Every structure is written in C-alpha cells, then in structure tokens.
Amino acid sequence: MNDHELARKLARETGTLLVGLRKHADSLQENKDETHSVLAQEVLGSEGDRVAHDYLMEQFSIHRANDVVLSEEGDLEVTRLNAKRVWIIDPLDGTAQYSSGGDDFAVHIALWEANSQAAGNISVASVAVPARNELWSMDEPVQRYQPNGSPIRILVSRSRPPREIDAVIQKLEEVFPDRGPVQVIPMGSVGAKVGAILADKADVYFNSGGFYEWDLAAPLGIAVHNGLSVTDCKGNRIDLNKVNLKVTDILICRPELTSSIVMALEYK
C-alpha cells in the first residue's frame, strides 16, 4: 500500500481501537461512585495513549521499518533531524475528552518528507475523529467551501482559551458586520477542530498558548489540502521537524479571515 493508504488505514484502525477500549471501560464502571469514576477516567486516558501508541509503532515496524517515527508517547528520536522521512503522529489527541466520554478526540498520522514542497513538508496526512465517524486524508477530493454569510464561528481550547479572544471577536465583527455576532465554541483535539471547519461547523481556530508538532502536523496537512489558511499568529508559515518541537502558536481559518485575525493579534 502507498503512504496515503497506510496513513488512512492506521488512523481508522487506531480510532476503532480507542472507541472499543472506551466502551469496554464504560461497561466495567457502571453503578460506581464519583471517586471511582474519576480514577477510572485517569486510567482510561493513560491506557488509551499507551495502547494506541503501541499499536501504531508495531504497524510502522511492519510497513515502514526504515522510516523514523516521532510520537507524543515515544522517545523523541534525534535521528529524525537527519532523516528524509519522518512520521509525526499523535496516537490520541485530546486525552481528556476521550477519557471523559467526549467526541472531540482524534488520531493524527502525518508524513514529513525533507524534499516535499508542501506546507510544513507534510506530504501525507490522515486525521480520524472516530466518535464522530470522520476520517480526513490528503489524497481525498478537496472540500470546497463557499462563504454564505452565516455568523463566524471560532473554535478555542476547552482548557486554555486564548487571552486575545475578545480582540479577535471585536475585529471580525468590525470587518464583517453583515455576519452578525461572532460565536465561540470550545473544543478539544486540534484534529477535531480542523474536521469541524471542514464540515462547515466552524470557521476559525487559533491557539496562542503553544503546543507540540504532533498536535499539529496531520491537521495542518488536511487543512492546507482543503484550502484553509494555516500560519502562525503573525501570518508566517509553519515549519516542522525542528530541533525544538514546541509550536508557539497557530491560526487555521478560512482564507478571507486571515488578515483581519492577524491584525487583531498584532496589537496584543
């Protein structure tokens, strides 16, 4: 199978594995008290991360044994810095949402290639949002979006909404008065957020608090493939597979909104 087929297969199968594990855990903790349930959520989250990581690493050892794999749950291989092909994966993005029964968790599979001309050098990407029965891949037809004048919807982190949100809302309502009051929607995984934009359930996601490359690599790939704008909060391109894996900030949105949001963020 080619790289696109492999990424899609791994995202789908890992998502199925995670959903099955959660259903099994739910069946074991029925009629338990609140303290037991909180503990069970913590165990489920750590177990989900581990099981998904182990499954993916086994599959890469079978199907792409010569490639380097960078995983959130792995040991951050330094060999990736000189490699031509690096799979950047997040076996379970949105652990808190997964363990608490939410549907906004995802599996991220991306391939970084040194010679790729694509954004962030991401040539292959798949994102599964299994609880929503969604699977997005870079080899699929582009999701075309036509602005329809509906309210602008901004996705923010459930746990760390950006401090600049009020300034961005003010600017968007000033520049696009015909679209009415801006709506703010909390959501978990980056992959789930990008999927929501592609499904026309949102228009913007930005994060000024920082995160890591595995949070972003696959969502970046599918976002750019489908015509979304992906930059940092100053409007600059995003580079991946760097020495420092921390990503300072990110803006993913409909292209017509980018300049207004960057302008609002410049003064914060």
- Quick one: 123 and 172 in the same domain? no
Q: Are 15 and 107 in contact (CB under 8 A)?
A: yes
Specify the pLDDT at position 106. 96
Q: Which helix (H) or strand (E) holds 189?
A: none
Specify the pLDDT at position 36. 44
Specify the pLDDT at position 182. 95
What amino acid is encoded at 90 in this protein? Answer: D
- Quick one: 16 and 47 in the same domain? yes
Q: Which of 109, 144, 156 is nearest to 7 (CA)?
A: 109
Specify the pLDDT at position 39. 46
Residues 200-227: tens digit of each pLDDT: 999 999 998 888 999 999 999 999 999 9
Q: Strand 246-247 relative to strand 211-212: parallel, antiparallel, unpaired? A: antiparallel
- Quick one: 157 and 112 in the same domain? no
- Quick one: 244 and 180 in the same domain? yes
CATH number at residue 123: 3.30.540.10
Domain-located, residue 190: yes
Q: What is the pTM of this model?
A: 0.89
Number of domains in the chain: 2
- Quick one: 132 and 11 in the same domain? yes
User: In a 3-state reduction of DSSP, which class is residue 154?
Assistant: strand
Segments in the chain below pLDDT 50 = 35-36, 39
Q: Which helix (H) or strand (E) holds 248?
A: none
CA 78 to chain centre: 23
Task: Give strand pairing partners of 184.
Answer: 154
Residues 168-190: tens digit of each pLDDT: 999 999 999 999 999 999 998 99
CA atoms within 13 A on the CB side of 239: 5
Q: Strand 250-253 relative to strand 229-231: parallel, antiparallel, unpaired? A: antiparallel
Q: How far apart are CA 123 and CA 243, in angstroms?
A: 20
CA atoms within 13 A on the CB side of 107: 32
Residue that finishes a domain, picked among 88, 103, 137: 137
Specify the pLDDT at position 160. 78
